[in-house]
A and B are shown apart, each in its own frame.
Chain A
């Protein structure tokens, strides 16, 4: 560095010092060319810095986690979702922009990888553990961005601080969720073999991710439709009121499927008991 310091001092002096004589022609030309170059470099630099270049991703380096995720992706997902998650026609959609929340829902609940192509991916034992799921999610997130689960990990409302959250969540649940999942959260049929799954064993994280990303046949409830607080209220209602088996009406809630199972019970239990009783009473002669 010592060798560079005199030159720096000289340049410093040269830029600031007022020139007493007119510059020579060659010097002027050289200066114009230098200024031109600097202007071009500036314009180009600003452009490259701000414009979303078509090849921008080529230069993006994947983080270490995403690299691991890419490995997993290239082994298990690429068949249907294609190279770089661009999708394969007739097999699987592009995953550009679905976000890590979607990956964590689909992979975390075992829905992906799918067993076979059918109306809807079924929940099953997860094929990847938690870390692998995170890695896959990170990869997809770094590929194309998209919705992410909140970093604070808060999915429910504290009923001690906010006791009204339960009733508000119930109201929101009945408006937004019951038309498919049913009043009791037992799930329901959709057209052509599709269905809304039961919510009995869904974790708060899963519920949040589902609302945020709209997996399978579910509509997306983005943060503009349901604010994060409203999502937390709904999850509070589902976990507190529906999942904890609060059935004051008896030992058996008949799946909370309504009159179908109730009708089954009156014949299967009530009429059966009483017909046998009738046989018994009439037999006593």
Chain B
């Protein structure tokens, strides 16, 4: 009997051929798989946010299977003996069951929470990268604004999720949220009553937050993330300036296989890090907080870190109550409503503000090194300083207690710091940027310091500089134009010595063969290529 020979190696080819014949997939797929992405570590920060969002969706689906968003009072009869017999809402009871009875439930809950913190943290870090490198400039202004909205949605998703277990800590947070709503003049009581369905806390809020947290907000996030990524795809990625890179091309790696493999690996790394943290670090131990009771407020009651700046601003606000006739505006209104509103919406318009100020209407696909736009860096440093002082003030009681500082001193340090540090940060960062620029230009004008000291016939000592470009008749370098990219400042960067490894990966990284610009593959000669065949 003669068996038909099956060629395994040809199987993918025949399969792909079949797919293409039916669905005409080859042409669009080729375009997609050959799409080029520039390679720089800072371009991976946004991916952390994307990947933690995927983890949030996966773990969140698991949690919904066991969570009961009901405020019906029940008596706890579960295995956690320190709460047995306590009256609590069904939401809190099911969160405890999820933590102590569902297999892997506590791990999933902790993964969900750590992923949420990571999502917000990576959004902020990613935003800082976009901001300081000027990646938001035309044509990407809208994508910047979408990013700010994504932060806001993440903020809301975090707050609603934090409130769902209905424990003592989250109930305190809800109470503060209701107080913030109440502080809005005239409309406050109506807003609070409509959200809570009457007086705080009511019986509806957990159910309402639940549907917001599992459907509305994630839906919005998913839609906006799609648009965000779609725009990156359509407008193409920005890249650093450098050899061969122009405003009209993209130099990098193809989507398939290298970029896709790297992204897959990075997803695994993000997943692993979140799982590691969920396994090692206890987060939000709701069983210690007890069910929410208005009379029980713990010290060190804080919101999660991305809301803490608002809490800090509230703590720093002086007690200025404004009376207008029969009405009053409580001091809470200014930091919590006006402050939060301004801090989350004004940044959205920054790209247009900057373009207008600089009268810049050109398309920018090349990034700027932070030093090349000192004022932008100054504004960024100012905002970060403001955010950090506000955030630290949100935890000022814990800091005061653990570092043995008076809480009153912390509050005053925060008030003064909030006014003094941002301008100081602006000034210092602008000066640092100008200094770095100056140094680059100096090297371009005079060459690299060689470390060789020469004594002239008249006894004068000079350091010999290695010009980076051509020299004039007297041997003086002809000043080079600044290209917005790394300027070699050491002799081994221009090939005089063996190239040293830059960065942290000395033991694993092989030194580059020839002097290269970071981010550029080393230039190597033509290798002898081998044709890969099926081996028949």
Residues of A within 8 A of B (CB): 119, 163-164, 166-167, 169-171, 174-175, 178-184, 186-193, 195-196, 237, 240-242, 247-254, 256-263, 265-267, 269-271, 273-285
Q: Which residues of A contact B438 (CB under 8 A)?
A: none
Q: Which residues of A contact B277 (CB under 8 A)?
A: 265-266, 269-270
In chain B, residues 361-399, which have Cβ atoms closer than 8 Å to a Cβ of chain A? 391, 394-399
Q: Which residues of B contact A188 (CB under 8 A)?
A: 299-300, 397-398, 401
Does residue B125 face the partner (Cβ distance < 8 Å to A)?
Answer: yes
**A175 and B281 contacting across the interface, CB-CB below 8 Å:** no
**Residue in chain B with minimal CB distance to A249:** B282
A270 in contact with B106 given A167-B84, A279-B505 (CB within 8 Å): no
Expressed in whole angstroms, the Cα–Cα distance for A170 and B289 within the complex equals 10
Expressed in whole angstroms, the Cα–Cα distance for A258 and B394 within the complex equals 12
Q: Which residues of B contact A260 (CB under 8 A)?
A: 300, 302, 305, 308, 394-395, 398-399
Does residue B298 face the partner (Cβ distance < 8 Å to A)?
Answer: yes
Expressed in whole angstroms, the Cα–Cα distance for A167 and B88 within the complex equals 13
In chain B, residues 33-67, which have Cβ atoms closer than 8 Å to a Cβ of chain A? 39-45, 48
A175 in contact with B295 given A278-B44, A281-B266, A285-B253 (CB within 8 Å): yes
A250 in contact with B82 given A259-B304, A278-B41 (CB within 8 Å): no
Expressed in whole angstroms, the Cα–Cα distance for A33 and B508 within the complex equals 116
**B282 and A247 contacting across the interface, CB-CB below 8 Å:** yes
A262 in contact with B283 given A178-B296, A183-B289 (CB within 8 Å): yes
Give the Cβ gap from A162 to chain B, nearest Cβ, in Å.
12
- Residue among A174, A189, A265 with most chain B CB within 10 A: A189
**B44 and A281 contacting across the interface, CB-CB below 8 Å:** yes
A270 in contact with B505 given A167-B81, A180-B299, A189-B400 (CB within 8 Å): no
**B266 and A278 contacting across the interface, CB-CB below 8 Å:** yes
A189 in contact with B401 given A181-B299, A266-B117, A274-B273 (CB within 8 Å): yes
Q: Residue A281 contacts which of B262, B273, B278, B407 (CB distance < 8 angstroms)? A: B262
Q: Which residues of B contact A283 (CB under 8 A)?
A: 41, 503, 505, 509
Give the Cβ gap from A161 to chain B, nearest Cβ, in Å.
14
**A179 and B305 contacting across the interface, CB-CB below 8 Å:** no
Q: Which residues of A contact B106 (CB under 8 A)?
A: 248-249
Q: Which residues of A contact B84 (CB under 8 A)?
A: 163-164, 166-167
Does residue B331 face the partner (Cβ distance < 8 Å to A)?
Answer: no
Q: Residue B283 contacts which of A190, A195, A249, A279 (CB distance < 8 angstroms)? A: A249
**B300 and A279 contacting across the interface, CB-CB below 8 Å:** no
Q: Which residues of A contact B295 (CB under 8 A)?
A: 175
Q: Which residues of A contact B404 (CB under 8 A)?
A: 193
**A253 and B285 contacting across the interface, CB-CB below 8 Å:** yes
Q: Which residues of A contact B270 (CB under 8 A)?
A: 274
**A269 and B281 contacting across the interface, CB-CB below 8 Å:** yes
Q: Which residues of A contact B508 (CB under 8 A)?
A: 280
Known: A196-B299, A249-B282, A270-B277. 4 other contacts (CB 8 A): A169-B82, A174-B289, A260-B399, A285-B521
Expressed in whole angstroms, the Cα–Cα distance for A169 and B83 within the complex equals 9
Does residue B517 face the partner (Cβ distance < 8 Å to A)?
Answer: no
Give the Cβ gap from B99 to chain A, nearest Cβ, in Å.
8
**B121 and A270 contacting across the interface, CB-CB below 8 Å:** yes
Does residue B161 face the partner (Cβ distance < 8 Å to A)?
Answer: no
Give the Cβ gap from B423 to chain A, nearest Cβ, in Å.
25
Q: Which residues of B contact A284 (CB under 8 A)?
A: 262
Give the Cβ gap from B157 to chain A, nearest Cβ, in Å.
16
**B282 and A270 contacting across the interface, CB-CB below 8 Å:** no
Q: Which residues of A contact B467 (CB under 8 A)?
A: none
Does residue B485 face the partner (Cβ distance < 8 Å to A)?
Answer: no
Q: Which residues of A contact B265 (CB under 8 A)?
A: 281
Per-position binary interface string of chain B over residues 114-133, scored 1 when its CB falls under 8 Å from any chain A CB and 0 otherwise: 10011001100100000000
Does residue B148 face the partner (Cβ distance < 8 Å to A)?
Answer: no
Give the Cβ gap from B133 to chain A, nearest Cβ, in Å.
15
Expressed in whole angstroms, the Cα–Cα distance for A276 and B269 within the complex equals 11
Q: Which residues of B contact A275 (CB under 8 A)?
A: 41, 45, 125
